[in-house]
A and B are shown apart, each in its own frame.
Chain A
Amino acid sequence: MNTYYNPEDLKKFGNIAEFEKNLANKFFNYYGEVFKEGALTAREKSLIALAVAHAVQCPYCIDAYTVDALEKGCDEAQMMEAVHVTAAIRGGASLVHSVQMMNKAKEITM
């Protein structure tokens, strides 16, 4: 079955260098640096990546960072809480704009 998303394509991520090597190399070097243990632990970064993966709704990233979070020692409850953070920020981002709606409504109504 043809779909827009093929799980096998995730393994081919590195192949983006085929069309533009220089920028791809720079990106992957940067990517590797970002996920190294630093002021944040590798596990904290993995949970952030998992939450962002849900925000940008990237199936490749969700697959990759579900496995990565488990391999960093996270459990299911921690992973689901991370996704609730995504949901709270996404939901909150919609709701906080309602202040603008309220402002406008008040501006033009008696």
Chain B
Amino acid sequence: MGESIKSLHSRHSELANGYFQLKVLSNNSLSNHHEVNFTEKLRESKLFPLKPTQLEIFQINVGKMCNQVCKHCHVDAGPDRKEIMTKETMLLCLDAIKKSGAHTVDLTGGAPEMNPHFRWFIQEISKLSINKIIVRCNLTIILANKKYHDLPDFFKAHTIEVVSSLPYFTAGRTDAQRGDGVFEKSIKALQMLNEVGYGIKDSGLIINLVYNPSGAFLPPAQHALELDFKTKLKANYNIDFNSLFAITNLPISRFLDYLLESKNYESYMEKLSNAYNPVAAANVMCRNTISIGWDGAIYDCDFNQMLDLKVASSTNHISQFHIEELQNRNIVVNQHCFGCTAGAGSSCGGTIS
């Protein structure tokens, strides 16, 4: 049995506070080495101030409530988190999506399916002229309660693109990061998604998996790992999926707590900054994405959202959404951004260079 994981929030940890996390990230005394400043790196790459490109992805975090408590979670999500987007805020989001020109709506959480208005919201988004709706489904939610068992059919009915975390194709690695028994349930849920057509060739139903390292190291090359996942999941569990996204763990929230507790913080930050890749920096997801919090606040990305770093714009709430003003903003960056620019880069859609 692995140790049970609790949210920073329920532990009353100082790291539950975004401001405190930023303080840790900017604390030079933690490091024996000369701390490399992310802003300076961007300046060297002639990317500072970082500006948005065309808005493509409208990402909405519909709440922090989750049935899982993963060790690395950047949201600090869990069953104890009660922050949930209201229907009123969702209505404002629908209006903003129309004005935004984005072609993709990306729903995340917590477990977004636990928001009581989740299905209604999907139905309403489906009526808009949007090319793609993504739901970041943790898989185990499908089995968590009878009321969620039909989620694969619901996803199929709205041609939702499902994106799900599976840190490895073995139980040990997966459960160490996501909790005991998560691997077995995830496999069952993937089989249920395959049964309705997800991941099956020519079905038009997409299920992509997300790998992130189970520790203080960088992800492998995405393509090589995808081949491995495909071979092993097919041979051992008869599971099909479309693509694997390799994502780097950002040094915030529960992963930051892990880094500090395991005394890997300094070496991990050094690793990230040494691996700074200007090509990845030019393609970071915050340039074509906007992120909305459960309370309607607007952020450059889901990570800034968890650090409470709102967009640097006079319109920083969904009720004031103004696309032209937002497109003129400077993107807020800090030391955690090294996570998205290391090596092949990292985004919610995997590597970026």
CB-nearest residue of chain B to A7: B267
User: How long is the Cα–Cα vector from A56 to B221 in the complex, in angstroms?
Assistant: 28
The answer to whether A67 and B220 have CB atoms under 8 Å apart is no
The answer to whether B215 and A73 have CB atoms under 8 Å apart is no
The answer to whether A67 and B224 have CB atoms under 8 Å apart is no
**A46 smallest CB distance to B (angstroms):** 10
B219 at the interface (CB under 8 A from A): yes
A81 partner residues in chain B, CB cutoff 8 A: none
Partner of B217, one of A42, A67, A75: A67
Known contacts A67-B217, A70-B215, A71-B218; A41 and B170 CB within 8 A of each other:
no
User: How long is the Cα–Cα vector from A71 to B225 in the complex, in angstroms?
Assistant: 10
B322 partner residues in chain A, CB cutoff 8 A: none
The 0/1 profile, CB within 8 Å of A marked 1, for residues 214-256 of chain B is 0101111100110010000000000000000000000000000
The answer to whether A71 and B219 have CB atoms under 8 Å apart is yes
The answer to whether A73 and B218 have CB atoms under 8 Å apart is no
A72 partner residues in chain B, CB cutoff 8 A: 220-221, 224
User: How long is the Cα–Cα vector from A99 to B220 in the complex, in angstroms?
Assistant: 44
The answer to whether A73 and B225 have CB atoms under 8 Å apart is yes
A71 partner residues in chain B, CB cutoff 8 A: 213, 217-220
The answer to whether B224 and A41 have CB atoms under 8 Å apart is yes
The answer to whether A70 and B217 have CB atoms under 8 Å apart is yes
Q: Which range contains the number of B residues in contact with the other chain?
A: 10 to 19
CB-nearest residue of chain B to A70: B217
User: How long is the Cα–Cα vector from A92 to B220 in the complex, in angstroms?
Assistant: 33
**A19 smallest CB distance to B (angstroms):** 24
A42 partner residues in chain B, CB cutoff 8 A: 221, 224
B172 partner residues in chain A, CB cutoff 8 A: 75-76
User: How long is the Cα–Cα vector from A70 to B219 in the complex, in angstroms?
Assistant: 8
Q: Which of A3-59 contact B (CB under 8 A)?
A: 41-43
B168 at the interface (CB under 8 A from A): yes
User: How long is the Cα–Cα vector from A77 to B232 in the complex, in angstroms?
Assistant: 15
B173 at the interface (CB under 8 A from A): yes
B228 partner residues in chain A, CB cutoff 8 A: 73
**B266 smallest CB distance to A (angstroms):** 12
The answer to whether B170 and A75 have CB atoms under 8 Å apart is yes
The answer to whether B170 and A70 have CB atoms under 8 Å apart is no
**B269 smallest CB distance to A (angstroms):** 14
CB-nearest residue of chain B to A46: B220
User: How long is the Cα–Cα vector from A43 to B225 in the complex, in angstroms?
Assistant: 10
The answer to whether B217 and A43 have CB atoms under 8 Å apart is no
Known contacts A67-B217, A70-B215; A75 and B225 CB within 8 A of each other:
no
User: How long is the Cα–Cα vector from A42 to B225 in the complex, in angstroms?
Assistant: 12
What residues of chain A have their CB less than 8 Å away from a CB belonging to chain B? 41-43, 67, 70-73, 75-77
Closest 6 A-B residue pairs measured CB to CB? A73-B220, A73-B225, A70-B217, A71-B218, A72-B220, A71-B217
